């Protein structure tokens, strides 16, 4: 019985050593008091990564000569969508936060809520292998499994299965010379099938440059007035409009983000057909409340680059 007890103790010690070894291999030297923050990023080209930033409680190493910055002692643990996992020490940088391996063939840059990776034969000859990476919001609803990142790192957003993303979307309803560029996320066909909802309904993230005040009304034109709404801690300028003709109804709502430059707006477009124009029993009336709730969840996942 006593031999069995000590055998179990020995196995536990060995197992603990193995766990600590692999933990150290991934994160470097760690202590329970180190500060760690983990973020998920969505990048251009369908790539993604997870970064855990590690800041030791010990102060950075102070320089031995005047006018030199202290040597940073932080590190980052990366898990890349191509299957690689690696740990990098923080290095001195004039702008942003820089992490690199010993021979400077892999460099990870972090600035605000955006990051990118450079790889090459040496620090003087690198290319961006992970570009336009921006923090991705968590899927708090469990219904937004897909992520999208603008190729320039301007924004990231989550959306449901069945939606399609069009990065070359142009909003042209304001007339000639007033086109607004953006990315549109069109609803799943299943949402509209058998109802009076148009298949072109969806949500778009749009930008307007050179706007003095980022207000929702500029995305709709005319005499539309905006109101200020705070939703889940974010303050928006909100405006709505509606138009109808030939049995079609177009309802639009724009949530603009004051203070962004270029001005960022999220547009809901709900295109439906007059329900009474259908023969009795031919279609069902679409569920507006459920559709708007889905659009709201997508909008709340928006992260704008800094």
Summarised one tens digit per residue, pLDDT across range 211-253 is 989 999 999 987 899 999 999 999 999 999 999 999 999 999 9
Consecutive H or E run containing 300: helix 288-300
Q: pLDDT per residue over 41-80, tens digit each?
A: 999 889 999 999 998 876 666 666 666 666 788 999 999 9
Interval 72-124: pLDDT, tens: 889 999 999 999 999 999 998 777 899 999 999 999 999 989 999 999 987 77
d(CA 146, CA 139): 9
Nearest to 56 by CA among 71, 75, 37: 75
Indicate whether 25 pLDDT > 60: no
Burial of 174 (0-12, 13-18, 19+ CB in 10 A): middle
Does the structure show a pLDDT above 80 at 14?
no
For residues 180 and 174, the answer to whether their CB atoms sit within 8 Å is yes
Q: CA-CA distance, 154 to 156, in Å (whole number)? A: 7
Contact 264, 205 (CB under 8 A): yes
To the nearest whole number, what is the mean pLDDT of the chain?
A: 87
Rg (CA), the chain: 26
Residue 80's contacts (CB-CB under 8 Å, 6 or more residues apart) are 47, 49, 117, 130
State the pLDDT confidence band at 151, using cuts at 50, 70 and 90: confident
Report DSSP state, residue 45. G
Three-state DSSP class for residue 10: helix
Rounded Cα–Cα distance for residues 89 and 97 (Å): 11
CA distance 306 to 150: 13
The reported pLDDT for the residue numbered 66 is: 66
**d(C-alpha 139, C-alpha 168), whole Å:** 25
pLDDT of residue 65: 66
Average pLDDT of 27-38? 64
| Of 264, 237, 269, 232, residue with least CA distance to 253 | 269
All structural domains of the chain: 32-134 (2.40.128.200), 140-304 (2.60.120.1690)
Looking at residue 120, what is its pLDDT? 93
Task: Give me the numbers of helices (H) and strands (E) for the chain, helices first please.
Answer: 3, 18
Q: What is the spatial distance between Cα 186 and Cα 189, in angstroms, rounded to a whole number?
A: 9
Contact between residue 162 and residue 189 where contact means Cβ atoms under 8 Å apart: yes
Please count the other Cβ atoms lying within 10 Å of the Cβ belonging to residue 61: 10
Distant-in-sequence, close-in-space partners of 145: CB < 8 Å, separation ≥ 6: 139, 158, 160, 161
């Amino acid at each position: 019985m006593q031999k069995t007890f000590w055998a179990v103790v020995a196995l536990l010690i060995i197992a603990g050593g193995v766990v600590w070894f692999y933990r150290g291999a991934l994160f470097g030297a760690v202590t329970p008091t180190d500060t760690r923050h983990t973020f998920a990023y969505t990048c251009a080209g369908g790539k993604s990564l997870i970064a855990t930033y590690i800041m030791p409680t010990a102060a950075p190493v102070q320089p031995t000569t005047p006018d030199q910055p202290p040597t940073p002692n932080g590190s980052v643990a990366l898990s890349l969508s191509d299957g690689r996992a690696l740990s990098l020490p923080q290095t001195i940088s004039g702008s942003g936060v820089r992490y690199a391996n010993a021979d400077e063939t892999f460099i990870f840059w972090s600035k605000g809520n955006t990051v990118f990776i450079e790889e090459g034969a040496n620090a003087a000859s690198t290319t961006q292998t992970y570009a336009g990476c921006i923090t991705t919001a968590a899927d708090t609803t469990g219904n937004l499994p897909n992520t999208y990142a603008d190729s320039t790192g301007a924004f990231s957003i989550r959306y449901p299965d069945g939606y399609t993303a069009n990065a070359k979307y142009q909003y042209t309803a304001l007339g000639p010379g007033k086109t607004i560029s953006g990315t549109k996320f069109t609803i799943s066909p299943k949402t509209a099938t058998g109802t009076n909802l148009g298949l072109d309904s969806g949500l778009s993230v749009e930008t307007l440059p050179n706007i003095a005040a980022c207000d929702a009304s500029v995305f709709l034109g005319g005499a539309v007035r905006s109101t200020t709404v705070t939703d889940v801690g974010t303050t928006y300028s909100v405006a709505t409009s509606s138009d109808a003709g030939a049995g079609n109804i177009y309802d639009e709502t724009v949530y603009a983000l004051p203070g962004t430059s270029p001005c960022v707006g999220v547009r809901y477009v709900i295109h439906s057909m007059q329900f009474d124009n259908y023969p009795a029993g031919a279609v069902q009336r679409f569920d507006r409340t459920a559709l708007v709730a889905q659009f709201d969840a997508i909008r709340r996942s928006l992260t704008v680059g800094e």
